[in-house]
Amino acid sequence: MKLPQFHGGLPLKAEAWILGIVNLFEVFPCLETHKVLLATVTLEDEMRKWWMLMRESHKEIGWARFLEIFYDKYFPQCVCDRKVLEFMELKQNNMTVAEYKAKFTKLARFAPHMVDTDYKKVRHFEGGLLDDILEKVNVLKLETYIDVLDRAIIS
């Protein structure tokens, strides 16, 4: 298995690196402090230099704290705010249901408070569906996100 490497760059590259590392932890569970060691060994170039400076004041930190530090660098609040707004305004428009679902899932990570219950997730997802699909879904009074998604896909 190839370790994901991160050289620095745009927030979306940083997010892709984090997701790759998290996938690695699902296959190879380890202690929180070991997660940081494993993840930081994959940093390259500007990121390696950044971490060398940071690690002196952050010895023995856990994965959650590392993510806070990392996200502070790569996801400033203005970027997160834009993603939350994009999520709030997300509509299916000319996307297929599968494309809409993928974008919904991608953006929902930036607004967990808006999808922290199945009810909220369902209502937000339905709110972006095309009217003709929404009508078919609403008739059934479905309560779970999976059920709404399945019905929307076959509509």
Give the pTM: 0.70
Q: Is the pLDDT of residue 79 over 90?
A: no
Identify whether 6 is part of a domain. no
Number of domains, the chain: 2
Q: What is the mean pLDDT of the chain?
A: 91
Longest Cα separation, the chain: 59
Domain extent for 50: 11-75
User: What share of the chain has pLDDT > 90, as a percent?
Assistant: 68
Q: What is the pLDDT of residues 48-65, one digit of tens each?
A: 999 999 988 888 889 999
- Region for residue 45 given its phi and psi (left: phi exceeds 0; alpha: psi -120 to 50; beta: otherwise): left
Query: Cα separation of 113 and 1, whole Å?
Result: 34
93 φ/ψ sector (left φ>0, alpha ψ -120 to 50, else beta): left
Are 126 and 89 within one domain?
yes
User: What per-residue confidence (pLDDT) applies to 87?
Assistant: 98
Residue 67: both structure tokens together: 């993510």
